[in-house]
Amino acid sequence: METRRPISCIVVDDEPLALQVLVDFCQQVPFLELRGQFQEALAAAAFLQDTPVDVVFLDIQMPRLTGLQLAQLLPAPRPRIIFTTAHPDYAVQSYELPALDYLLKPVSFERFVQAAHRARAALLPPAAPAAVAAAPESPEAADEVLFVRHDGRLRRVPVDAMYYVEGQKEYLMYYTATGKLLILQSFRKLEEQLPAGRFVRIHKSYLINLRHLEFVERHRVQVHGTSLPIGETYREGLLEVLRYHGKLG
């Protein structure tokens, strides 16, 4: 069985308590390898010049050099950036910086783990099964297609063809452009496999593809002609994602 390599990372935050929280979180995630912690963006920039890492957990508002400015200075190949901030209305979307995720302080461990899994999925996509790998592949990127086990076979599901997913006990029902698929899978496992920033959980029972989102009301959304409820505990997370991706004024 193949063992994927650790994900190297650093944490940059000028607030000592916030820095320590993220350091502790990194040390609790088995596949993260913490290479350094910095309270000054300039010190982090100097470190990264000589020591490339996979991921930077980066505070936005810092003195002298902000996280946004630091992200623009990073040498190629640039690490993946996971921004952290205490300000939910910070206009990250106004900067053309590719960010893997955006964590709102105080960051919960559950939300941190979700971002860490997203980083691992982006950096180390799982190898395709041998039978699938032997088949001719389209020009689509690997992270644009899922392979799911359905009716005793591996079924190829283009990510863009997924409208939304509904939880049904230990199963997930995929609603796609070619019909419905009932898959023995958890939301957590699915979210690890999906490309970052394209899907969002809106309810304990629903995850939606933002590309097929038609409108949002206070208690519901419409996705490809279907009305779906917004769970109260998921509402702020949905709005945060929409703000981040510039879909909400």
Euclidean distance between CA atoms 33 and 27, whole angstroms: 8
Euclidean distance between CA atoms 191 and 181, whole angstroms: 17
First to last CA, the chain: 47
Residue 247 binned pLDDT confidence (cut-offs 50, 70, 90): low
Distance of CA 134 to CAs 7, 137, 142, 147, 195, Å?
28, 9, 14, 14, 23
Euclidean distance between CA atoms 243 and 196, whole angstroms: 15
Lowest mean pLDDT among 9-23, 36-50, 129-143, 230-244: 129-143
Residue range 101-111: mean pLDDT, rounded:
86
pTM here is 0.53
Euclidean distance between CA atoms 59 and 209, whole angstroms: 28
* Residue 50 one-letter amino acid: D
Nearest to 87 by CA among 60, 127, 58: 60
**pLDDT of res. 137:** 39
| Other beta carbons less than 10 A from residue 127's beta carbon | 11
pLDDT at 182 over 90: yes
pLDDT at 229 over 90: yes
The angle at the Cα of 112, spanning 209 to 159, to the nearest 5 degrees, equals: 20
Euclidean distance between CA atoms 93 and 137, whole angstroms: 34
Euclidean distance between CA atoms 56 and 32, whole angstroms: 11
Euclidean distance between CA atoms 67 and 90, whole angstroms: 12
**pLDDT of res. 12:** 97
Tell me the domains of the chain and their CATH numbers. Answer: 7-123 (3.40.50.2300), 132-244 (2.40.50.1020)
pLDDT at 91 over 50: no
